Structure 1
């Protein structure tokens, strides 16, 4: 399963399909055929201008010029054959040449914009790869799957984030959502992941990991910025720790498919706002045995609406599609989510599913291979 969206940085991906390049020629041919068959003189000849005008959206400047010259030659031939008055024919041909010139210029400007867009895409993709490492499918006794969908087709990076790190203290993971959009959100997401990666390995206490992220954000965020996040860890066989900082509650899935929201009795503010509220995060201890799964997600999933403005029922969807293969579960869940919204999400959506498949080890790693994603 693809864990992150793939985009082709080549500017050719922005061009129309190759078959559309011949459409302007077909338009010119049809107009010429109709005019020649009907013998209507100047009634149909002005429509030849549709050829170069359409070519401006499907071809480069050279293609537009060729279509325009073809239309002009055919117009001159048909006008002469049908004995169109000279003044009328000159007016039609002049209009064809003017449209051709304008369309050639428009085609050149469009091609230039395509090249600029390709360059911007390449920079964004390089930034994404600099921050991105694929999440492994297996980590010790755990199976892992992730799924991300961008609301915009051209999206590369954003404020949704997730990471999984095997450490001497067990597997640790985070899913979060940065307030805001654009490069400031990406910068904050990168900061959170960087601090999490170091702290998760160094700190034996999960609350200490959260505190280090909080201190870093307090120094770097503006007064109105914050990050909602869930930080979880598996410190030993059959054990699960969860710290929720203003984020949607994770879903705990039992071995028999029962889905339970991991609500906290002591709500904590989002990361970056602790100084304003004075509330401290609470560490929840839960059993996590063989066959059980933990789903973390961002609000782009639960706030997805259908045509009737109904939210997507995530817990019910998980119960319908849960299986022993996390990748399969998320694929089916994601397909149902897209069906629910009519094929296009209006916000980024991230899902991370962790399944305990064995009980002989606890996921500790002397030499971890961290995996992190910024979306």
Structure 2
């Protein structure tokens, strides 16, 4: 802009086959402070633009004569507007031939921004060029902002969808890099002082600074957020900012945005080098820092809850089956992958006055609440079976327990009471996969035992009775072993039956074989309990 607010310094491509006209237009534009690139034909214009595209310096506007020797100015305009690389170049048609409104309309229809009849006053030519450049810059600015807002939205979705802190900081770093056009590093400093670091892909391939540099960054973050909440931006000069985080082997001043939601919550730091083109993305980086702080707080809180739930679950699920007279038993419990929510799977094996009581079940939901309800069910089962170990009675009492204490919770459970001396078994099933019985002749079949979920207060069918022979094995599992999205459970149960029938004869070998077949990378906890008379 000059002192009068007029745009100067623009580059104008003048396309005109008449040397005198090119000279006159060039003189008018140069007096107004523009740089002029004169060419004599449409072909020369396309060649010139190709060279400039490779160098990354397209002109700001093209003045195009309607009557060129190799193609009309309208055709040249259509070619420019049809290419994504030159579509944003504003085109002003001109002609010394009186074409009336027809030329003006054809110019606009071909994609041109304006039309000039020449000769024209210098002030009019300069004003039209200024308007075309101003309009293009506004459009380009709006399009660039829209692109950056889309990038911001995509990054926030990725950050919020992160299943662990490693995924979160990497998503935030890559988003920062895309928003600013610079290498980026993101740190999250947890409440416990643990520092999580993520690098943009362009930076991640090189060696990282040592642990001392990470501790320096942690101290910087603590100092920058001390006494502050929300987000704030600043520049941290080298050597206060350790070398190597942003560009390997280079001492960089860092433009950082730090933030946290409130005192005592995780602090985030998004950093890019000051020498990069980051300035115009600063406001959006601030927005990203806010979203990252919120997501990190929620994720770290969830990780604490998950650890508590997992500890609670493990403390009540022994990894080895108890020793019981007359029964050989093996149990397996495999938690889901670390990124998956905690479940409510459980198993139990208890000695009662009526024999050995086994149970496998699953509380609906994936949370600390589900793990807590699971513990309550196991405790209640242990207490109830002292008075009456009958599976049907136990299922009814557990159903009433959930209705009374946790009216919004449901659970599945399969209860089996085994009499070691006779081999007689009684089964009460509440919405769970029924026990699978593998016979000594190599066949396998599911016990016919069904019933409604616990917690619904519905009538229950009488228990199923069967007899286990010394060579028979009984298997109880949770659905985490075989349930797969998009596969009918009946199909998965048949696959399990076939695999179990063909498994080695030992109980441990049976469980390990089934885990090898079905238990890899499961999104839910897995519990197995296998027994036979011994």
Partners of 1:119 and 1:346 lie apart in 2 by 19
| Residue aligning to 1:350 | 527
Are 1:333 and 2:510 counterparts? no
Distance 1:124 1:329, change over 3 A: same
Distance 1:141 1:93, change over 3 A: closer
More RCO (CA 8 Å, sep 6+): 1
| Residue aligning to 1:31 | none
Q: How many residues were matched structurally?
A: 286
- Contact (CA 8 Å) 1:244, 1:282: kept in 2 or not? no
| Residue aligning to 1:188 | 373
Q: What is the TM-score of this pair, normalised by structure 2? A: 0.45
Kindly report which structure 2 residues correspond to 1:93-132, keeping only aligned pairs within 5 A, or say none. Answer: 94-95=274-275, 119-120=304-305, 122-132=307-317
| Residue aligning to 1:319 | 501
Structure 2 SS opposite 1:65: coil
The offset of 1:155, in angstroms, is 5.0
The offset of 1:233, in angstroms, is 0.9
The runs of 5 or more residues in structure 1 that have no matched partner are 1-12, 17-46, 77-91, 359-375
- Contact (CA 8 Å) 2:244, 2:251: kept in 1 or not? no
- Contact (CA 8 Å) 2:313, 2:375: kept in 1 or not? no
The offset of 1:345, in angstroms, is 2.1
| Residue aligning to 1:230 | 414
Kindly report which structure 2 residues correspond to 1:97-246, keeping only aligned pairs within 5 A, or say none. Answer: 119-120=304-305, 122-136=307-321, 138-155=323-340, 157-222=342-407, 225-237=409-421, 238-246=423-431
Structure 1 SS opposite 2:242: helix
Partners of 2:527 and 2:251 lie apart in 1 by 56
Partners of 1:167 and 1:194 lie apart in 2 by 15
Q: What is the TM-score of this pair, normalised by structure 1? A: 0.62
Which protein is bigger by CA-based radius of gyration? 2
Partners of 1:127 and 1:156 lie apart in 2 by 14
- 1:285-310 Cα shifts (integer Å, max 9, x gaps): 21112121111112233423689996
The offset of 1:174, in angstroms, is 0.9
Distance 1:168 1:135, change over 3 A: farther
- Write 1 or 2 for the structure with the bigger share of helix: 1
Partners of 1:93 and 1:207 lie apart in 2 by 69
Give the one of 466, 472, 476 matched to 1:296.
476
Distance 1:197 1:65, change over 3 A: same
- Contact (CA 8 Å) 1:148, 1:351: kept in 2 or not? yes
| Residue aligning to 1:83 | none
Structure 2 SS opposite 1:67: coil
- Contact (CA 8 Å) 1:72, 1:93: kept in 2 or not? no
Distance 1:187 1:253, change over 3 A: same
Are 1:273 and 2:456 counterparts? yes
The offset of 1:259, in angstroms, is 0.5
RMSD, aligned α-carbons: 4.2
The runs of 5 or more residues in structure 2 that have no matched partner are 1-163, 168-180, 188-196, 209-213, 218-240, 254-271, 280-284
- Contact (CA 8 Å) 1:170, 1:235: kept in 2 or not? yes
